[in-house]
Amino acid sequence: MATRRVPVHEWVSFEDPDEDRTWVFDVTFLTSSWTCIYGRGCQGVLTEPAPELVHGCCSYGAHFVDDDDVRRIERAAATLSDSQWQYRGRALKKGITRETRRGETVTRLVDGACIFLNRPGFPTGPGCALHQAALALGRRPLDLKPEVCWQLPLRREDQVADDGHVTSTVGQWDRRHWGAGGQEFAWWCTESDQAFVGTRPVYEEMADELAEMTGGKVHRLLRAYLEDRTQRVREPLPHPAVRRRERHEQGRSLPGSDAG
């Protein structure tokens, strides 16, 4: 029976200085050059590549984590104007949320994507209206966006042991985290070398998000470790997507290959 190969990542763990909690971090992803390429080559998360739609990962709406998340986004939405938000009129009539068959609260969909997604041709350009509004105000996008949206492609998972000890793992969001439908995506950014073109490592690029997910003390421990590690480790373990690209490039450069 064939077994599924799991890409190799390097991990590090810290004990929380204030709680009965162990933190586990994906060093390989956090030190990688991944960056969001929304509107710059992102293929979207439909069953066929659709970069022309400029949906990014917004095709299915955002799943809210709790009632506080819903209320926070409802307050943010109330501050947007028609010139900032293409579907504000639709939201005023029907609201911004809907319930799934499983009883989950998600953002309403309009024309095949999240109600907050401004489409090509709108004066502000395509993109999340909440994200665009935050940038225009000089605020962090995470202050206005649903929790799952500002975290992507980071993911925190908490496991509670019988004795109450919590293990919190922070790593990349993979296809499997979307459920069965994730396997139908034609493209996913943490798998594609196209997205590993950033000029800064993820732990710097997403410093605000990491601090919000972990708290100030833990974030400072993590950052100090990663900065020190960057100085000490001359050849860090490349991300699996980058390793695939390197193997492909090496293959093309071998004698007899198609490389001119």
Q: How confident is the model at residue 260 (pLDDT cuts 50, 70, 90)?
A: very low
**Mean per-residue pLDDT, 199-225:** 97
- Token pair of 127 as six digits: 């993109």
Q: What is the pLDDT of residue 257?
A: 45
Radius of gyration of the chain (CA): 20
CA distance 143 to 125: 21
**Mean per-residue pLDDT, 173-200:** 94
**Mean per-residue pLDDT, 141-168:** 98
**Residue with the larger pLDDT of the pair 259 and 61:** 61
Angle between helices 216-232 and 207-214 (to 10 degrees): 130
Give the distance, in angstroms, between the CA of residue 208 and the centroid of all CA atoms in the same chain. 13
Q: Does residue 94 share a domain with residue 214?
A: no
Q: Does residue 144 share a domain with residue 85?
A: yes
| Residue range of the domain that includes 144 | 58-151
**Mean per-residue pLDDT, 234-256:** 74
**Closest CA relative to residue 69, chosen from 105, 94, 118:** 105
Q: Does residue 145 share a domain with residue 115?
A: yes
CA distance 80 to 122: 15
Q: What is the pLDDT of residues 75-133, one digit of tens each?
A: 999 999 999 999 999 999 999 999 998 899 999 999 999 999 999 999 999 999 999 99
Q: Does residue 198 share a domain with residue 111?
A: no
pLDDT value at 234 more than 90: no
CA distance 260 to 251: 13
Q: Does residue 182 share a domain with residue 81?
A: no
- Token pair of 206 as six digits: 């997403």
**What are residue 14's DSSP bridge partners?**
23
- Of 99, 126, 151, the one marking the end of a domain is 151
Average pLDDT over the chain, rounded to an integer: 92
Q: What is the DSSP string of 76-126?
A: HHTT--TTT-TTHHHHHHH-SEEE-TTS-EEEPEETTEETTEEPTTSTT-S
Residue at 52 is within a domain: no
Q: What is the pLDDT of residues 109-123, one digit of tens each?
A: 999 999 999 999 999
Phi and psi of 18, rounded to 5°?
A: -120, -15
Q: What is the pLDDT of residue 259?
A: 40
State whether residue 35 is helix, strand or coil: coil
Q: Does residue 161 share a domain with residue 140?
A: no
**Residue with the larger pLDDT of the pair 243 and 115:** 115
Q: Does residue 93 share a domain with residue 15?
A: no
Q: Does residue 210 share a domain with residue 170?
A: yes
- Of 117, 151, 185, the one marking the end of a domain is 151
CA distance 164 to 25: 20
Q: How confident is the model at residue 243 (pLDDT cuts 50, 70, 90)?
A: confident
Q: Does residue 79 share a domain with residue 131?
A: yes
**Mean per-residue pLDDT, 194-221:** 97
Residue at 221 is within a domain: yes
Q: What is the pLDDT of residue 1?
A: 45
Based on the number of CB atoms within 10 Å of its own CB, is 175 exposed (0-12), middle (13-18) or buried (19 or more)?
middle
- Token pair of 184 as six digits: 């139908």
Q: In this structure, are residues 22 and 15 in contact, taking their beta carbons and an 8 Å threshold?
A: yes
What total number of domains does the chain contain? 2
Q: In this structure, are residues 244 and 193 in contact, taking their beta carbons and an 8 Å threshold?
A: yes
